[in-house]
Structure 1
């Protein structure tokens, strides 16, 4: 058990440059939330639903992270900061990183159907701050979801999702990912394919618009000048 805890702390330290020692990580609310969820999930699996909820509410009170006791969580989940919500039927793989204010939510809660209604995050997924992952979708291995993105469809393996509604940047993770990238999106590398010619297309459109505006101004000036001359002769 001690070796497992040390490996967990080291996995967090590899993804977060802030802590100087493992002792600091022991104070992280995300670590406590995951630890208390293990207890709550064990009680939930034993059909002790009320006690599971008690542990869940205590964890939410102290950590500002709400993980339903029914959610399934793999190894080395790192929740960086609080205000994260993980629904009952969510399934999280190994080495997943979730930043603050993320929701793994369900869809159509009014139909009363208790089946699978929350997302599945595969191994090594990174979810950026404020992202909303909604419905029984699958976020593929090594996928990245950018900050404040809203994802309602399956995410391919290695894809980077941005925007509202989220769209893939079509940049495979292996083309720029070395080991780990914070917040799910590259900060210095382009999010769009560099060889797509999009910048050239935009510059061409701007030049065309400028030429059209210049032609309209010239036509307007030529129409005004004869009228002014006619009034002067009168």
Structure 2
């Protein structure tokens, strides 16, 4: 449950960065928090060999939040689901600290191989991350981007297929 506490504190930090000073009570009531709670409960049960109970939490997340996360999906502390509807995550996915997901995100496998996400990653609404690839630290994946190749540290990935873009003083350059 330590990870859940870190998830909620990180969500509160995200709100603060956007200029909203919100209480922990409001964070508990925010969209996506129930999906985070059910994911952490499912994951705890799965790691403690309580498969049937883990399946119950997975099922509850699917029907209450429209969010399907495989019981083997493993995210470190600071995992934040902002809007859970349409999120689908394969059981083989692993992620580091401080990963933020918006609605409609799919993180899936291709031919039995799944992505690995490092730390401090933002995934925009509708983005897809598919196949055996690595998303390095500090990456932002834009809304509706389709990532099928590795993303290097600090990159902003945009488009279909996703390509790295860097912001310059004059705008955005590829």
The question of whether the paired residues in 1 share the 8 Å contact of 2:102 and 2:123 is answered with yes
Equivalent position of 1:33 in the other structure: 35
Q: Counterpart in 1 of 2:68?
A: 66
Give yes or no for the alignment of 1:97 onto 2:100: yes
Q: Deviations over 1:53-80 (max 9, x none)?
A: 1210012211222111110011111111
- Counterpart check, 1:154 vs 2:156: no
In the superposition, the TM-score normalised over structure 1's length comes to 0.65
Structure number with the bigger relative contact order (C-alpha 8 A, sep ≥ 6) is 2
Deviation of the 1:29 alpha carbon: 4.2
1:123 equivalent in structure 2 = 119
Secondary structure of 2:114's partner?
Answer: coil
What secondary structure, in the 3-state scheme, does the structure 2 residue paired with 1:126 have?
strand
Identify if the C-alpha distance between structure 1 residues 39 and 9 changes in structure 2 by more than 3 Å, giving closer, same or farther. closer
Q: Which position in structure 2 is the counterpart of 1:45?
A: 47
User: Which residue is 1:191 aligned to?
Assistant: 172
> Number of residues paired by the alignment?
170
Q: Which runs of 5+ in 2 are unaligned?
A: none
Query: Normalized per residue, which structure has more helix?
Result: 1
CA contact (8 A) 2:117 2:136 kept: yes
5 Å-filtered alignment, 1:159-178, equals: 159-169=155-165, 171=166
Structure 1: unaligned runs, 5 residues or longer: 177-188, 194-234
